[in-house]
Amino acid sequence: MLSANKHAARVPYPESLRSIMSIRCAEQSRQWLSQWRGIAHGATPLRALPGLAARLGIAWLGVKDESQRSPLGSFKALGAPVALLRQVLRLHPGFEPEAVLAGRYAGTLKDYTVISATDGNHGRALAAAARDAGCRCVIVLHAQVSVERERAIADCGARIVRIAGNYDASVAEAARLAAAHGWQVVSDTSYEGYEDIPRDVMQGYGVIASELVEQADGAAGDPPYTHVFLQGGVGGLAAGIVSYLWEKYGARRPRFIVVEPVQADCLYQSALAGRPAGATGTVDSIMAGLACGEASPLAWRFLQDSVDDFMTITDDAAIEAMRTLAAGDCGDVPIVSGESGAAGLAGLLVLLRDRALAGAAGLNAASRALLISTEGATAPLVYEQCVGVPAASVLSRQQKWRASVDTAGISGCRAKTAC
């Protein structure tokens, strides 16, 4: 399903939003994170897929591969650590930012406890950051979070609390535990009276956009992409990237399309209602990172006037997209993209199979589409069940592909092969 956002506007980035999230703060976050051992040095790859683009009939297709962001295998390594760091600095303004995640204040922070609900990746990132900073971490998991993801979070030193409900129930339980014990919630979704930390999480995601601007070689002042496909969830990732690119390009910004599971369509419903709304489905999707029932009100403030289209996809469409990226068809580089990571490609494939939908989304032979693969095989067994082969096999073929091509001078979004 595709719904055009009647409130989308081609205007300069509003000052009211700049006061909340800005390029300046995103760059500050990028600098601080560059000193953390839990994150890769340098930008994640922007991989061009010229073969798939040609098969689909568009001018260019690229994937920002966030599986390479850190050992966590997810873009969430950007959000929770920044939020934890900024919260610590609010409590201890004299601390040196780069020293917090290096553990230099562990003695001071040893009795400080942070807590969050998660579908997996956010909790793992928060647990890793808390471990390195020297504070305690409690993670609340709902019934649909896999045992694999639970173990990965526990391995980062977090205490795990399991509940029987869905993601929204885990958010409520995290808030209850925090109030009962005096712990600090570090969540990627906002609610009444709780916006500073979700804003910091979203600001961390702006690092992705910062790298994309550097990696692009479009005409001066113009965006190098006509379309940017972004995962839904509560809206945090989309808001973080939209904020940066909207401020950078103003009224010339690319077309933003948000994709989410049909059974977790809170942003789609928010667009229809013109305000933050809840999902109409079961909120039980294989796309665990996007299985959210309520839109973040703070994220919605950035999305309501900037996202041009909201769409929903099925789990089967996501699995097909995972397999397409893993196969590396048409001579393209094979890519490991998890269930939520492949959602953008799933949305693009759905649109391009229907001439009317493609036209409604402004997709044609001149389109240059950007996807964000937000995660790799963060749940390896789930990935293998979906794709039919283990992630290690795909990575082996990726290494062979890279060894077989001359990558000298390949960068940016006009590359003929992957970088």
Domains belonging to the chain, first-starting first, are: 2-72+196-404 (3.40.50.1100), 76-185 (3.40.50.1100)
- Is residue 119 flagged as an active site residue? yes
pLDDT at 167: 82
Residue type at position 369: A
- With a CB cutoff of 8 Å and minimum separation 6, the contacts of 194 are 185, 187
* Sheet order of strands, 2-4 included: 2-4, 309-313, 255-261, 227-231, 368-373, 60-65, 46-48
pTM for the predicted model, two decimal places: 0.91
**Helix extents (H) in 67-166:** 79-91, 97-100, 106-109, 121-133, 147-155
- Is residue 76 flagged as an active site residue? yes
Strand-pairing partners, residue 311, are 2, 259
Tokens at residue 261, please?
A: 């599971």
- With a CB cutoff of 8 Å and minimum separation 6, the contacts of 236 are 79, 188, 189, 198, 201, 202, 205, 296, 299
CB of 161 closer than 8 Å to CB of 173: yes
Tokens at residue 62, please?
A: 């690229």
CB of 321 closer than 8 Å to CB of 327: no
Question: Nearest-5° angle of CA 136, CA 163, CA 197?
Answer: 45
- With a CB cutoff of 8 Å and minimum separation 6, the contacts of 377 are 67, 73, 336, 338, 383, 384, 390, 391
Q: Round to the nearest angstrom and report the end-to-end CA distance of the chain.
A: 33
**Judging by DSSP bridges, how do beta strands 309-313 and 113-118 pair with one another?**
unpaired
Q: Return d(Cα 413, Cα 419) in angstroms, integer.
A: 9
Instruction: Label residues 354-365 b or e (16+ Cβ within 10 Å = b).
Output: eeebbeebbbee
pLDDT at 120: 80
**Helix extents (H) in 113-195:** 121-133, 147-155, 167-181
Q: What is the pLDDT along the chain (419 residues), one digit of tens a residue?
A: 899 999 999 999 999 999 999 999 999 999 999 989 999 889 999 999 999 999 999 999 999 999 999 988 999 999 999 999 999 999 999 999 999 999 999 999 999 999 999 888 899 999 999 999 999 999 999 988 888 889 999 999 999 999 998 888 898 999 999 999 999 999 988 888 899 999 999 999 999 999 999 998 655 578 999 999 999 999 999 999 999 999 999 999 999 999 999 999 999 999 999 999 999 999 889 998 898 889 999 999 999 999 999 999 999 999 999 999 999 988 999 999 999 999 999 999 999 999 999 999 999 999 999 999 999 998 899 999 999 999 999 999 999 999 987 544 444 333 434 33
Catalytic option among 6, 64, 65, 76? 76
Strand-pairing partners, residue 310, are 3, 258
Question: Nearest-5° angle of CA 41, CA 290, CA 261?
Answer: 135
pLDDT at 417: 40
From 154, 210, 185, 168, select the one nearest 28 (Cα to Cα): 210
Catalytic option among 119, 168, 309, 332? 119
For tokens 């712990």, what's the residue?
183
Q: Return d(Cα 246, Cα 319) in angstroms, integer.
A: 31
